[in-house]
Structures are given as C-alpha cells and as structure tokens.
C-alpha cells in the first residue's frame, strides 16, 4: 500500500465514518486515497462509508469534528493541508484541549527534504500546535506511519481525552510499503499513567472513609463536571445520586450529566449559574466534586467557595486536578465509571441509607424561591421567552450547540437537558463561532436527532460561511440567531462597569441582513421574527421544517444574563437582576469589573 492508502485503511479500522476537512497540495495523496476507498466500498444504500465533508474553512472543520465527537462520544477526524490549512486549526485544537474533546487532526506537510526551507505552504506544525494539543506527531520515518496513526487515536480517546495532531510530509504519503495491520508506538510514560488510573481501584478502607463523611453530613451536594460526560459515567453518576439521594449541580460542561427536570437536579452552578444552585453550594456541608476542576467560572474566589463544607471529596482521572485550586479532604484518581460503581456497591453491601429529607426540602425551597425569571410583560421579545418556547416543543431532548456570549448562557440556563451529549458549547476557551460548525458535526453524529444552533448575531459572524455547508449536505439543522445588534456580553459588562461606553461592541449601525444571507446560502426557510405575538407560532413552524431552517429573532438589546457572580465576589454576593430574588442585594459598585471578564 501507499502511505496514504494505509492512512485511510487505519481510519476505517478505527471506525471513522466521516472526515471533515479542506484539501490542498500537501494532503492531495490522502484525499485521493479517501476517494478511491469510498468508491470501492459503497454502502448498500449507495452512500459512502467515509464521506469527506468540506467546510468553508479549516477552523470550521475543526469545530465540526468537535461537535461530532461531543455528540457521539467517538473521535472526530479533521484532514487539512499544510501551512495555512494546519494553522487554521490552532483555535479548534486549543478549544478541544481545553474542553477535553477527542479529535485527530491529519495535516499534510511539505516533503521531508523541504522541511525547514520555508517551502511553499510550509508551517512548523509541531511548534504551532504542540503547545495547545494533547500530543503532536511528525512522521519522517514511513515505517512508523501505521503505528503512529493508531497511537494517535489511542491517545486522543483514552485517559483525559483531547486533540492529537499528525503532521504528514507528502513523500511519506506517497511512499509504498507493506501494510502490517497492527502495531502501536512505544509510549511507556503515557500508558503507565493510564494503567495507574485504571488499576487504582477503590478499596473498602477508602470507601469507608468516604461514607463516614457522607453519614456525618446533613447537606451533601454533588458538583459534577464535564469529566462525567467525557468518561461516559453519566449512568453511574445518576445511580449514585439516586441511591443515596444526593442533590446534584453541574458545571457548564457537565450539563446533561443528570436530567435537569428531576427533583435532585439543581442545574448549573457558577458565574452565571442558577441562584438556587449557588446558594446550595453555600449551604452544603459536604461537597463531592466528580470530574470537575474548580475552575475560575465556578470556584471564583477559592477560599469563599463552598464556605460551609466541612469536607470536600474529589474524583478525577487527572492527578494534576487534585487540590490544584481547592484543597480537598478525600480524593481518588481513577476511572469514574468503575469508581462510582465501587462506591455504590460498597454502600449497598453495607446497607448505607442516610436520611437527607430535610435537605431535600431546603433544596426545593431554594429552587422555588430563587427560580429563573425575567420581565414577562415587556413588549420587546425577551431571549429567555424564545428559549422557553423552543423548550416547550423539544422537551429537553434536542442537541443544542451555541456560540459564545449571552445567548450561550441563556441556552444553558433555560433549556432542559434530559440526557448527556445534548449540550455542546465552547466552555473553557469561550470561542465565538463554535455553534454553527459544531451543529453540523453533531448532525453527522446523530443524523435522526433534532440539532439546534442557538447563536448570537456577533458570534455567528465568525463562521457564517458554514451556512452553505449545512445546505450543501442537506442537513436539517435549525439555526437560531438572537439578534441584539452587538456583542451582548461585552456590552453588559460595559454598561455595568465602564459607564455605558460601548467601545467597539455596538453593531447597531452594521448592515448585515442575516435572512438574505441564509437565503443566498440555500436555506428554503429563512425568517425574521420581530413581533412578540408571533413567537410560539413561528418557533413551531421553524422546528417543524423538514430541512435546514434559519430563524433570526430581534430581541431586547438590554436583556442581560442573570444571575451573575462578579469577579472577586462569593456566591452570596451575586447579582440577580430585577426579577430574581437574592439573599444579599449586590450592585455593580461592589464589583471590580476590571479584574476578570
């Protein structure tokens, strides 16, 4: 086989059923091999087994692969050319690293004898992508090509998942050699860490100490993060919470780890978390962190986070996260699924059944008293009402992707999520432009599922060219643009902390016609909604449309994201706005707005 044929065969062996990428000179041999493989292995229904999906640019390809990976739980694949093709993937690679999303990026490269000569479309991929990827490979020995490809997938999907980049010189792709069909690279340090986590089983002594803290508590609270979803431990977490009747709040990345419609769910905590969830963190006396990293959007001021907790326990697969931000009293580094199973099994065996009924009553009162709310009498369309109208139809079972900004937080707060892998957003990096390409990737992962991109007028501009990708492949994605004519989250901060000076954030003078743009890109349904009385009817029509559908909603430009925990403040000082009660009324004068966005 040629090197390019080996690459494609290994992709097939790894179960890859879609590739996102943009072609170019240095990757042409492998693109040709994909074409030939698909022609020789047509499915019974006439479809290609490994279609190449061409985006508007390589950043879009990266986010499509991320959306695919997040929705499916499998490794997403990106295939791009050298130079600008590779460097255009830097942002999605960093985004995937920050949110622990498994993708493999295959980059073409100039021939090995031209590397370092500033050849046409040459870029130092290892230097550019190495600092932001889980691992990078430059294949200069074609005899190691097979093993490198398989090892890349192993590293991407195992342990704490992440992006792996393979830099492939054109002469390695064109080389011909024997295909062995097996083999991995020796990466002993990595595998030792993997095995250390896998083999680190919870013993009875450690379980006994954990349950000693649980039985000594009256107000335990589970704080679950994206690690639960990445570790496919949703079922085990739900079983653990239900078995011992422990309320659960999740991070932005952990949304869907528990069914948000269930009584034990407090939905999201943190900077823009629900007031009830944040107050529960303040009130709890035993905090159980599972696959969560105490990041700045949640812990804020670490010494003020969970101030009433006498004990904190932490489960994680990454030893570097233990005690990194907040000191803990009990921890275990291991595989979440097996660890939560072991905890439940120990509790069953020892018939541990604590009574937290009083705490449950307090939780329900928090949820009732500090529920999300907004100005329901406003003549302007409120973004919260739009999401509630969509949620009434989808019932917590749609895949929701977002850009970044106010619309992202509204979607996190006001949608229900009954299952894992329904919520796809750029969390740690906060990358505008994520939503539309991620929705496209998610639709390939879940072809029969309703996929909705909730976007903002500023965020969708970043990758607006992917509207055409949706229609090119006739994907029934539903695109929603909540248009407040500007960078809403930036403007909210400017209004609160910068005297209302809207420096470079007010787009009201821009002339973009999103409906015409969508129509030009092939959307047969493209509607602008500006009248509140038409909201429910229009939303139902938009969701019911059989193909790609675009809806722009002109919303109240002054609608804000509340609650909001300002930088340097604890949860009991959060700003809840005019329609959500607060224990302590906090104003912008109490916040140092310059310390953190």
Instruction: Please tell me which residue in 121, 495, 512, 545 is annotated as part of the active site.
Output: 121
Q: How far is residue 90's CA from residue 125's CA, in Å, rounded to a whole number? A: 9
Return the number of other C-beta atoms located less than 10 Å from residue 500's C-beta: 9
Nearest to 342 by CA among 467, 147, 203: 203
Enumerate residues 6+ apart whose C-beta is below 8 A from 112.
Answer: 140, 169, 171, 172
Tokens found for residue 189: 């340090």
Distance, in Å, from the CA atom of 104 to the CA atom of 136, rounded to the nearest integer, reads 10
Q: Which of 268, 271, 489, 574 is catalytic?
A: 489
Cα–Cα distance measured from residue 5 to residue 129, given in angstroms and rounded to the nearest whole number: 25
d(C-alpha 571, C-alpha 273), whole Å: 10
SS3 of residue 481 by DSSP: strand
Angle at 291 between CA 597 and CA 189, to 5 degrees: 105
Maximal C-alpha separation, the chain: 72
Among 5, 109, 170, 523, the one annotated catalytic: 170
Q: What is the DSSP string of 410-453?
A: HHHHHS---STT-EE---SS--TT-HHHHHHHHHHHSTTS-EEE
Is 552 designated active site?
A: no
Question: Residue 129 in contact with residue 89, Cβ under 8 Å?
Answer: yes
d(CA 525, CA 546): 9
Residue 568: left (phi > 0), alpha (psi -120 to 50), or beta? left
C-alpha R_g of the chain:
25
**What CA–CA distance (Å, rounded) separates 335 from 254?**
17
Q: Would you call 121 a catalytic residue per the annotation?
A: yes
Q: Which of 5, 6, 58, 507 is catalytic?
A: 58
Cα–Cα distances (Å) from 425 to 96, 435, 450, 585, in that order, read 11, 7, 16, 31
Could you tell me which of 548, 483, 579 has the C-alpha nearest to residue 275? 579
CA pair distance 94, 136, nearest whole angstrom: 13
Q: What is the DSSP letter of 578?
A: T
β-strands 265-268, 220-224 pairing: unpaired
Indicate the Cα dihedral angle 254, 258, 263, 264, nearest 10°: -70
Q: Determine whether 170 is an active site residue.
A: yes
Set 120, 215, 358, 596: catalytic member: 120
The catalytic site residues sit at 58, 120-121, 170, 489
């Amino acid at each position: 086989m040629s090197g390019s044929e080996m690459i494609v065969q290994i992709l097939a062996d790894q179960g890859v059923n879609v590739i996102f990428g943009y072609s170019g000179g240095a990757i042409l041999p492998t693109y040709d091999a994909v074409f030939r493989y698909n022609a020789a292995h047509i499915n019974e229904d006439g479809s290609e087994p490994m279609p190449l999906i061409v985006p508007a640019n390589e950043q879009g390809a990266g986010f499509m692969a991320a959306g695919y990976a997040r929705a499916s739980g499998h490794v997403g694949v990106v295939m791009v050319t050298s130079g600008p093709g590779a460097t255009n993937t830097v942002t999605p690679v960093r985004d995937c690293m920050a949110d622990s999303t498994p993708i493999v990026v295959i980059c073409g490269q100039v021939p090995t004898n031209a590397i370092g000569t500033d050849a046409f479309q040459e870029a130092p991929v290892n230097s550019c992508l190495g600092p932001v990827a889980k691992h990078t490979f430059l294949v200069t020995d074609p005899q190691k090509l097979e093993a490198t490809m398989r090892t890349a997938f192993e590293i991407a999907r195992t342990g704490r998942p992440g992006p792996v980049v393979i830099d492939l010189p054109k002469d390695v792709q064109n080389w011909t050699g024997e295909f062995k069909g097996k083999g991995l690279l020796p990466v002993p340090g990595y595998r030792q860490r993997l095995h250390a986590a896998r083999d680190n089983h919870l013993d009875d002594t450690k379980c006994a100490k954990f349950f000693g803290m649980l039985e000594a508590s009256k107000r335990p609270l589970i704080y679950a993060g994206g690690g639960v979803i990445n570790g496919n431990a949703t079922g085990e977490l739900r079983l653990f919470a239900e078995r011992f009747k422990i309320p659960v709040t999740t991070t932005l990345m952990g949304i869907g780890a528990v069914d948000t419609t269930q009584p034990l769910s407090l939905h999201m905590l943190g900077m823009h978390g629900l007031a009830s969830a944040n107050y529960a963190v303040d009130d709890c006396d035993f905090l159980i962190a599972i696959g969560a990293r105490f990041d700045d959007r949640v812990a804020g001021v670490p010494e003020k986070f969970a101030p009433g907790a006498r004990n904190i326990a932490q489960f994680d697969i990454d030893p570097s996260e233990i005690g990194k931000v907040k000191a803990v009293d009990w921890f275990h580094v291991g595989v979440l699924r097996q660890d939560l199973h072991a905890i439940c099994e120990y509790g069953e065996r020892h018939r541990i059944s604590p009574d937290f009924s009083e705490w449950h009553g307090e939780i329900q009162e928090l949820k009732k008293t500090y529920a999300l709310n907004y100005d329901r009498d406003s003549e302007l369309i409120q973004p919260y009402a739009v999401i509630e109208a969509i949620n009434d139809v989808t019932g917590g079972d749609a895949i929701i992707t977002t850009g970044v900004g106010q619309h992202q937080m509204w979607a996190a707060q006001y949608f229900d999520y009954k299952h894992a892998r329904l919520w796809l957003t750029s969390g740690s990096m906060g990358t505008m432009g994520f939503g539309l390409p991620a929705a496209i990737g998610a639709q390939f992962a879940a072809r029969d599922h309703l996929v909705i991109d909730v976007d903002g007028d500023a965020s969708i501009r970043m990758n607006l060219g992917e509207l055409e990708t949706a229609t090119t492949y006739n994907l029934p994605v539903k695109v929603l643009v909540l248009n407040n004519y500007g960078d809403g989250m930036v403007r909210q901060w400017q209004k609160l902390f910068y005297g209302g000076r809207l420096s470079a954030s007010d787009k009201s003078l821009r002339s973009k016609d999103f409906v015409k743009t969508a129509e030009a890109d092939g959307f047969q349904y493209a509607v602008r909604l500006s009248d509140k009385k038409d909201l429910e009817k229009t939303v139902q029509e938009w969701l019911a449309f059989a193909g790609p559908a675009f809806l722009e909603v002109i919303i109240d430009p002054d609608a804000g994201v509340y609650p909001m925990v300002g930088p340097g403040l604890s949860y009991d000082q959060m700003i809840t706005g005019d329609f959500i009660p607060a224990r302590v009324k906090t104003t912008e004068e109490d916040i140092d707005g310059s310390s953190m966005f």
